[in-house]
Structure 1
Amino acid sequence: MIKHIWFDVDGTLATHSDEFNKVHNQLRYKIYSQVINKPVTEFLQQEFEALYKKHGSNSATFRSLGCASDFWMKHFEQIDKEKYYQPNENIYKTVEKLKDKALISVFTNLTAEGTKKTLRILKINPDWVTNYLSGDDVKERKPALSGFYKMIELAKISAEEILYVGDKVGVDIIPAKKVGMKTCLVWSKSDEADYSFENFEDLLTIDLTVQSKN
């Protein structure tokens, strides 16, 4: 039985437009070039993407280069979210309906300040959210497991009674499964997740009352 639903934020509740992706990638390559002190070239971009594939997230990639855990997120939050993020009625209405069926919380690599600012832009009412767990609150950002264990601690229930919803298999789904949570991938399909939906509102089709098998 699922009693508590936790959401990733960036890429899950906040969807990315082509314009955002362009600005986002430019920033990733720019910061990487500064860290390794080389100009931005096509080869450098390919090199960065290889590292990203290996480590699973931008935060983990820059962490592997010796940067602080919050290094990438401090740069990421330079992007004007007011300009590039738009509230999606299907998303916030779905979350509103789900909060009547289970507790709602968020766990994200964003900073604490960035998390609440982003949710405000997306029209996710703060009164719906039980716990805010940001990248600032854990030693290592996703896909490290420390934050997932912290979710269980905050929820004060067993891992199998928690559903974690995210958009990335390697960063969200696999780590959540490793600690025993139920998982849901949104915006694409994967056999790695317990549930996966291309349409966000299909989260409402999950039977939260089904008892887990021991």
Structure 2
Amino acid sequence: MIRAVWFDVGEVLVNETREYGTWADWLGVPRQTFSAVFGAVIAQGLDYRDTFQVFRPGFDLAEEREKRAAAGQPEWFGEDDLYPDVRQCLVRLRDQGLQVGIAGNQTVRAEGILRGLDLPCDLLATSDSWGASKPDVAFFERLVVEAALQPDEILYVGDRLDNDIRPAQKLGMQTAVLRRGPWGHILRGDTAARHLGEDCEALCLFQLDALAGLPDLVTGHNARQART
């Protein structure tokens, strides 16, 4: 049975349109152009950070984050950047008595912003605070420790088959893929199988187009498990 549901952050809880738009502005590139190149990079199975190299070879993301902060333009997102189905989904899962956690590849600053949003969750952490980033299995091992449950009692919800779903499955966690955001729409089907060498999407417990229906799916799954 599922006893905990943990969520990735970007494009699962937070719409990153604002964030990537401000990076385009920082680079002095039209936002549409940046988005098109971003999608092309993902479709090739490359690291999204390679997008920056197209426009500025040698670009150092961590260094540029510091420069943006010094210029009064730090990374930022707010309530308006949350997808509209997020809060209700988290509340309904907690009402079922499930542990709700949030953990993604985010900076310490982003973790502070997330905490400031006061999301209805039991545990919240980021890769920076854990010292381990997805897809490293160490990230998911830390998640299991924090959840204090067996891996197969945890459902991890992510939009990326490469960073979220595959490594969580390898550790024995249940998974749900959410088809939204660039990765959710591009890295799937034949494209995903070609780059990943396996169909980890088919192994997901749930394949979602939104979070609204997730609580009912979890309820149904647990009811079926209780009968067996």
TM-score by length of 2: 0.65
Conserved? CA contact 1:141–1:147, under 8 Å? yes
Report the equivalent of 1:140: 132
> Is the Cα–Cα contact under 8 Å of residues 57 and 142 in structure 1 kept in the other structure?
no
Cα distance in 1 for partners of 2:179, 2:38 equals 27
Distance 1:2 1:151, change over 3 A: same
1:111 and 2:111 are equivalent in the alignment: no
- 1:96 paired to 2:91: yes
Asked if the contact 2:179–2:209 (Cα under 8 Å) also holds between the matched residues in 1, the reply is yes
- CA separation in 2, counterparts of 1:197 and 1:48? 21
Aligned residue in 1 for 2:188: none
Q: Decide which of 178, 181, 184 is 2:170's aligned counterpart.
A: 178
1:152 aligns with 2:144: yes
Q: Is the 8 A contact 1:58 1:72 kept in 2?
A: no
Distance 1:57 1:109 in 2: 13
Task: Map Cα deviations across residues 118-152 of structure 1 (whole Å, 9 max, x no partner).
Answer: 3544x623xx32x2221113343111111101111
1:203 maps to a residue whose letter is: L
Distance 2:210 2:172 in 1: 25
Residue 52 of structure 1, CA deviation: 9.1
Q: Distance in 1 between matches of 2:64 and 2:99?
A: 30
Provide closer, same or farther for how the CA distance between residues 108 and 58 of structure 1 changes in structure 2, counting only shifts above 3 A.
farther
Q: How many Å separate the matches in 2 of 1:165 and 1:172?
A: 8
Cα drift, residue 202 of structure 1:
1.4
Listed as ranges, the gaps of 5+ residues in structure 2 are 28-32, 185-200
Aligned equivalent of 1:211: 225
Change beyond 3 A, Cα 1:159–1:73: farther
Greater mean alpha carbon deviation, residues 201-210 or residues 139-148: 201-210
Aligned with 1:187 (options 162, 175, 179): 179
Q: Distance in 2 between matches of 1:145 and 1:52?
A: 24
1:1-214 equivalences in 2 (<5 Å): 1-17=1-17, 20-25=19-24, 30=27, 50=41, 53-54=44-45, 56=47, 58=49, 78-82=74-78, 85-101=80-96, 102-118=98-114, 120-121=116-117, 124-125=119-120, 128-129=121-122, 131-188=123-180, 190-206=201-217, 207-209=220-222, 210-211=224-225
1:14–1:46 CA distance, 2 compared to 1 (3 A): closer
The residue matched to 1:154 in structure 2 has which SS?
helix
Instruction: State whether residues 2 and 155 of structure 2, in contact with CA within 8 Å, keep that contact through their aligned partners in structure 1.
Output: yes
Cα RMSD over matched residues?
Answer: 3.9
Q: 1:174: Cα distance to partner?
A: 0.9
Q: Write the letter of the residue equivalent to 1:201.
A: A
Instruction: Report how many residues are paired.
Output: 190
> Within 2, Cα distance between the matches of 1:109 and 1:73?
15
